[in-house]
Structure 1
Amino acid sequence: MEILKMDLLTFICVVMLLRFSSGNAEDCKSSSIPPNPGSGCCGRAVGVTKAIPGFYAQLSQYPWIGIIEHQKENKTKLLCSAILISGRYMLSAAQCFGPTAEQIGKPTNVRLGEYITSNDGPDCVEVGGSQECNDGALRIPIEKVTTHPDFHREQNFQHDIALIRLAQIAPITDFIKPICLPTSDITAEPPQQRMWTAGWGANNQSSSPSDRLHHIDLPYVDLDTCQAAFNISKIRQLKLGQGQLCAGGEEGKDSCKGDAGGPLMYTRDRTTEVVGIVSFGAIPCGKAGVPGVYTNVFAYDAWIRANIED
């Protein structure tokens, strides 16, 4: 065999390289610092082989998506999603915090590894004649929320980004794992493939949020085209900025109410990156010709890293 021709040092290096690139959970350590996309320790879902009928996501398809619990008068409400980027930190939308959001309730916990929000304990689904289950949701208290200092809801939702510090390090499991931060600005090199967004938001403007995680695929839309679409539709009078990006514009396919703070995802070489954060869109959502607007995560990379504490 060819491998016998290698010296011992070369053989060891090859084995270490293969292990490093595999991204197995036992090779990855959960910490406050976002993993390097090349490490295989972020943006890799496991066990995603069977499709669930309809538009529902698979149990372990998006292990980086969490949902925020807001509490008021002993009642828990689920208002927004959040995105795990390291063992200790999550991204979300700034609109999910502050005085307006706290009228609904104070953000207290994040559920990780969640799938069916109305169910306590492990969530199970029938797939291909067999039952598959996750571990159930893990609730971790929110220690600190840092919203972008320049965010103002009334100013076209620009700088709609927040960084959540969890009270404890999240474990790495098949159902809990960070997504990678973007390695480049997707608006500078528009993607040829479609992107995905996922969450527990409503299917349309008149329905209630879903209790099961679902997803949709969306095309990238450049900022000028997106701006023109909003100008023509007159749904909202706004001026989009360089910290925003757009996706969608297809009838009935859009992020909607309850999806704020969730990810817009793009996969490069089997590794998924969070390129956007759900911010706002047309009213009603899913209107043909009017894309949804997302915070461009790459534009805030320096701000994110500057606010992470080891």
Structure 2
Amino acid sequence: MISTQRSLGFLLIAALLQRTVYAQQNCRNPNQNAGLCISLYDCPSLLNVLQQISLTSDERLFLRDSQCENGFGRRPFVCCTRDTNYANRQTTTTTTTTGRSVEVGTTTTTTTRRPTNREGGQSGGSLLPRAPACGPNSFLDRVYNGNDTALDDFVWMALLDYRSRDGQRHLNCGGSLINNRYILTAAHCVTGAIETEVGQLYRVRLGEYDLNKEVDCVKGVCNKPVLEVGFEEVIVHPQYDANGRDRHHDIALIRLNTPVELNEYIQPVCLPLASVRAAINNKELLVVSGWGRTLLTRQSNIKQRLDVPVADPNYCAEKFATRRINVISSQLCAGGEFSRDSCDGDSGGPLMRYRDAWYLEGVVSFGNRCGLEGWPGVYTRVSEYIDWIEGAIRA
């Protein structure tokens, strides 16, 4: 009798669980079509939208409005159907050819050409992703063994791979993926002394976490093998002086030789575009990340993260003036606490802030050695270079 009661109890629990599963799965997308609430990475229709080199405002809104709760798999969850955009949404654009609109039913539509940049491609503004198509937050438990990141933290981070004259390969600088074709890094990572002291830029490595492993696993969760990509063009800011002490305009773009296929471990970071920009306050905590020097080793094998406070710009300028270095408004200072700083090997890497998504606020540039009390690190302020970035990139 006891055995029968236990069996009935198990059946009842199983039935309740099954009902819960179905309740969690069912959802309605923004078009009110029935779908399943699952991981974005398990939804081919919306993942294909996310992987496009540029998104329309409607596509970005559709992705945002497709999010759901209590899904299955890895966050973020979306209500997955075959839809990739709003249905029957009225749009009005302008034509660059005839100037005529064509009336179809009750919806007015016209043909349009996107503005082109100096090289004939689509304008850079349409090539930079906006949230939620960039800057995803981690959804895994933090490791934080010291300052180790989670496996899916900062998945836009790149490592630059150099080849020296004797054929040896060296991982040195960092960078950030800003769309599926471009890496943003520091100018001194691609020109000047690094070419003789380290070597010529050879490849870009994406999806990296632990340098000692081909596939990284943490608590039973594994990422994909590291992606190594060649490049076809390096664009250094025209005002950067490789021989200057001040490192003004220390910023550069690397155009990869093929578009990157995005996945949960390779995604672009958001940039502080004018439409989403917010002031950075003194003492506000930002995050710097990289594989650079730590107190114990010359290079960390595991991607590190560190919270650093924004330094007062006047204090920073006065401090570096004692070293005959002129810090200007297009540079951002952060850190200044003992042993807590970006360091060798972190150059070109990101200084970030999280709001609705992760935004790239600074590029690691230089400092007075590493982790000295009272000496903040100096970063290139990305918001000052958005116009240049948009003018330099192409489809």
TM-score range, shorter chain: 0.7 to 0.9
Q: Cα deviation per residue 1:32-64 (whole Å; 9 max; x = unaligned)?
A: 722023xx1100134333434221011111100
1:102-181 matches, within 5 Å, as 102-103=195-196, 104-119=198-213, 121-125=214-218, 130-153=219-242, 154-181=244-271
CA contact (8 A) 1:68 1:109 kept: yes
Q: Cα deviation per residue 1:173-200 (whole Å; 9 max; x = unaligned)?
A: 1110000001359784427741101001
**In 2, Cα distance between the equivalents of 1:239 and 1:92?**
21
**In 1, Cα distance between the equivalents of 2:223 and 2:29?**
38
- Which ranges of structure 2 fall in alignment gaps of 5 or more residues? 1-27, 55-126
**In 2, Cα distance between the equivalents of 1:193 and 1:49?**
24
Q: CA RMSD in A?
A: 2.5
Give the corresponding residue for 1:3.
none
**Higher RCO (CA 8 Å, separation ≥ 6 residues):** 1
Give yes or no for the alignment of 1:275 onto 2:275: no
**In 1, Cα distance between the equivalents of 2:340 and 2:194?**
26
- Shift in Å at residue 216 of structure 1? 0.2
Aligned AA for 2:161? E
Aligned AA for 1:35? P
CA contact (8 A) 1:30 1:170 kept: no
Residues 25 and 60 of structure 1: CA distance in aligned 2, closer, same or farther (over 3 Å): farther
**In 2, Cα distance between the equivalents of 1:161 and 1:15?**
46
**In 2, Cα distance between the equivalents of 1:47 and 1:190?**
27
Aligned AA for 1:254? D
Residues 268 and 15 of structure 1: CA distance in aligned 2, closer, same or farther (over 3 Å): farther
**In 2, Cα distance between the equivalents of 1:248 and 1:53?**
21
**In 2, Cα distance between the equivalents of 1:225 and 1:150?**
25
- Shift in Å at residue 150 of structure 1? 1.1
CA contact (8 A) 1:30 1:171 kept: no
Give yes or no for the alignment of 1:51 onto 2:138: no
- Which ranges of structure 1 fall in alignment gaps of 5 or more residues? 1-9
**In 1, Cα distance between the equivalents of 2:344 and 2:316?**
20
Give the corresponding residue for 1:251.
338
Which secondary structure does the structure 1 equivalent of 2:329 belong to?
Answer: coil
**In 2, Cα distance between the equivalents of 1:65 and 1:107?**
17
Aligned AA for 2:286? M
Give yes or no for the alignment of 1:197 onto 2:277: no
- Shift in Å at residue 83 of structure 1? 0.4
**In 2, Cα distance between the equivalents of 1:14 and 1:162?**
44
Residues 115 and 168 of structure 1: CA distance in aligned 2, closer, same or farther (over 3 Å): same
- Shift in Å at residue 228 of structure 1? 2.2
Aligned AA for 1:266? R
Give the corresponding residue for 1:5.
none
Residues 166 and 208 of structure 1: CA distance in aligned 2, closer, same or farther (over 3 Å): same
- Shift in Å at residue 102 of structure 1? 1.3
Give yes or no for the alignment of 1:302 onto 2:387: yes
**In 2, Cα distance between the equivalents of 1:14 and 1:160?**
48
Give the corresponding residue for 1:262.
349
What is the TM-score of this pair, normalised by structure 1? 0.84
Give yes or no for the alignment of 1:75 onto 2:161: no
Residues 247 and 26 of structure 1: CA distance in aligned 2, closer, same or farther (over 3 Å): same
CA contact (8 A) 2:142 2:149 kept: no
Aligned AA for 1:140? V
- Shift in Å at residue 98 of structure 1? 1.8
Q: Which has the larger radius of gyration?
A: 2
Residues 11 and 111 of structure 1: CA distance in aligned 2, closer, same or farther (over 3 Å): closer
- Shift in Å at residue 147 of structure 1? 0.5
**In 1, Cα distance between the equivalents of 2:332 and 2:278?**
7
Give the corresponding residue for 1:224.
314
- Shift in Å at residue 210 of structure 1? 1.4
CA contact (8 A) 1:31 1:87 kept: yes
Q: Cα deviation per residue 1:178-231 (whole Å; 9 max; x = unaligned)?
A: 000013597844277411010011014x84121211010011113112112334
Which secondary structure does the structure 1 equivalent of 2:193 belong to?
Answer: helix
**In 1, Cα distance between the equivalents of 2:202 and 2:168?**
12
